[in-house]
Amino acid sequence: MMLPLFSTTMTAKLPSLYLSPINPRFSIISLKKKSFPMTGSWNLCTTIVQASRSEVDHQISRFQGHEEESLLLMRSVLGSMERVYLKRNPTAKAILDLVKSVDDADHICYDHLAFRTFGVKGHGIDSMASFFLDYGYKQQGELRFPAKKLKALWFSPPSGLPHEDAATGSGVNGPLPRIFISELLVDQLSPQAQEIIEKYIGTSGSGYKHATLASALGSLTWKKPFFSDFQQLAKESEYAAWTLVNGYALNHVTISTHRLKTHLTNIKALNHFLQENGFKLNSEGGVLKVSPDGLLLQSSTVADPISFKFSDGFTESVPCSYIEFAERLVLPQYKNLRPEELKEFHRRDGFEVGNADKIFESTSKEQLTRRTG
């Protein structure tokens, strides 16, 4: 059965949203232009939400018999998020193109996708998680970051699907990625910071119900902030300032290095390769972040800056997103398996607080302004 992309509440607010069958087995989302409420957004929205017939046919031919039909729509939504992300972050696109040029372009797989949220009045983790849970993702571990006043949950891909071994897919069309969603514990901030955040959340109304759509469109659900408010939040929480101007946008994608086919499968080799090609990597705690068990290795670039026009007329450069890299090593009990026998479940799963805490710094002012070399 096709699972709904939006809640019934959202459908009530968007009466033009309906399922239009293109054949007895598959459906896509369509929108009636005359009643779509987002002025000036029709062309973008139809491009993002309503896949063309040729695109759907292409997806069907690739995945028919391999996964539930409803996941075709989910992949289309993930693809929209990815397109917004790559358009805003030239470093990520350049690295993906570079890695594809020396490796197998059909095996650039994502380990996980990450999102940031405000943990207040429904705008936190649940606002993004509901979409993935509807499509069979399972909630896994919780991570806490007391110094940053954050918590995070991660979600594993739907079970019963060949997401570990989708040999013909790449990016969001390859093995389904884990999802990592964090939220700022707003009630632990200063009264001034809480007041700023709640002021903008107030203009969002029930925008948290449309977090997935906002992410796919690259839009804020609250009004554009004042530069002075952004500056005030940045003094107390870089995470808060980032979320104020980026909203539910994809914070980063993570290349799964152990799925690569060349020497770049080793994350140390990949880091060296990227630095040789002039890319600046996050140096917080060292370029390579290693979990205590030594089985989860991670690194990331520094976020790209983006020009942002604030509502009070100021246009300033603010941090956007970045790209991460993760190598998951084989668990000790599976060390004797031959390489061709190894599957994703034989490797270290989950996330590590120490690693993630340093990866968060990819959008910090200290990393953005750090000199290379």
- Where in the sequence is the domain holding 199, given as residue range(s)? 66-159+172-369
Question: Model confidence over 192-220: pLDDT tens digits?
Answer: 999 999 999 999 999 999 999 999 999 99
CB atoms within 10 A of CB 189: 19
- Residue 310's pLDDT band (cuts 50, 70, 90): very high
pLDDT given for residue 70 in this prediction = 77
Question: Does 56 score more than 70 pLDDT?
Answer: no
pLDDT, averaged across the chain: 84
Tally Cβ neighbours within 10 Å of residue 228: 12
> Is residue 152 very low, low, confident or very high in pLDDT (cuts 50, 70, 90)?
very high
Query: Which ranges of the chain does DSSP label H, i.e. alpha helix?
Result: 8-13, 42-49, 53-63, 71-88, 90-102, 125-134, 191-204, 211-217, 227-236, 238-246, 267-276, 353-359, 365-368
With 70 as the cut, is the pLDDT of residue 87 above it? yes
d(CA 116, CA 153): 11
> Does residue 119 sit within a domain?
yes
Confidence class for position 168, pLDDT limits 50, 70, 90: low
The alpha carbon torsion through 254, 257, 258, 262 (nearest 10 deg) reads: 150
Q: How confident is the model at residue 68 (pLDDT cuts 50, 70, 90)?
A: low
Question: Do 10 and 3 touch, CB atoms closer than 8 A?
Answer: no
Assess whether pLDDT exceeds 90 at residue 72.
no
Cα distance between residue 51 and residue 36, in whole Å: 17
Residue type, 173: N
| Residue 253, in any domain of the structure | yes
For residue 274, which of 320, 322, 321, 242 has the smallest C-alpha distance?
322
Least confident of 64-73, 105-114, 150-159, 172-181: 64-73
pTM exceeds cut of 0.85: no
In a domain, 61, yes or no: no
Helix H or strand E encompassing 315: strand 315-319
Q: How confident is the model at residue 258 (pLDDT cuts 50, 70, 90)?
A: very high
How does residue 284 score in pLDDT terms, banded at 50, 70 and 90?
very high
Structure tokens at 110: 């994502």
Tokens 């997103």 identify what position?
A: 321
Whether the Cβ atoms of residue 322 and residue 252 lie closer than 8 Å to each other: yes
- What pLDDT score was predicted for residue 160? 65
Mean pLDDT of 35-53: 36
Q: Span 171-186, mean pLDDT?
A: 95
Contacts of 345 (CB under 8 A, 6+ apart): 164
- Residue 18 confidence (pLDDT): 27
d(CA 233, CA 320): 16
**Res. 33: pLDDT tops 60:** no
Percent of the chain with pLDDT over 90: 73
DSSP state of 283: -
| DSSP states of 114-168 | EEEEE-STT-SHHHHHHHHHHTT-EEEEEEEEGGGTEEEEEEEPPTTS-TT--TT
- Is the residue at 167 inside a domain? no
Q: Is residue 264 part of a domain?
A: yes
Q: Among residues 242, 252, 239, which one has the least CA distance to residue 92?
A: 252
Asked if residue 83 is part of any domain, the answer here is yes
Q: Is residue 258 part of a domain?
A: yes
pLDDT at residue 328 greater than cutoff 50:
yes
Confidence category of residue 169, pLDDT binned at 50, 70, 90: confident
The CATH number for 222's domain is: 3.10.180.50
C-alpha distances in Å from residue 251, one per residue of 70, 245, 306, 324, 349? 25, 12, 13, 10, 21
For residue 98, with 0-12 CB atoms within 10 Å meaning exposed, 13-18 middle and 19 or more buried, which class applies?
middle
pLDDT (tens digit per residue) in 362-372? 999 999 988 76
For residues 118 and 239, give the distance between their C-alpha atoms in angstroms, rounded to a whole number: 9
Residue 150 has pLDDT above 60, yes or no: yes
Please report which confidence band the pLDDT of residue 107 belongs to, taking 50, 70 and 90 as the band edges: confident
242 lies in a domain? yes
Domains of the chain: total: 1
Distance CA 37, CA 39 (A): 6
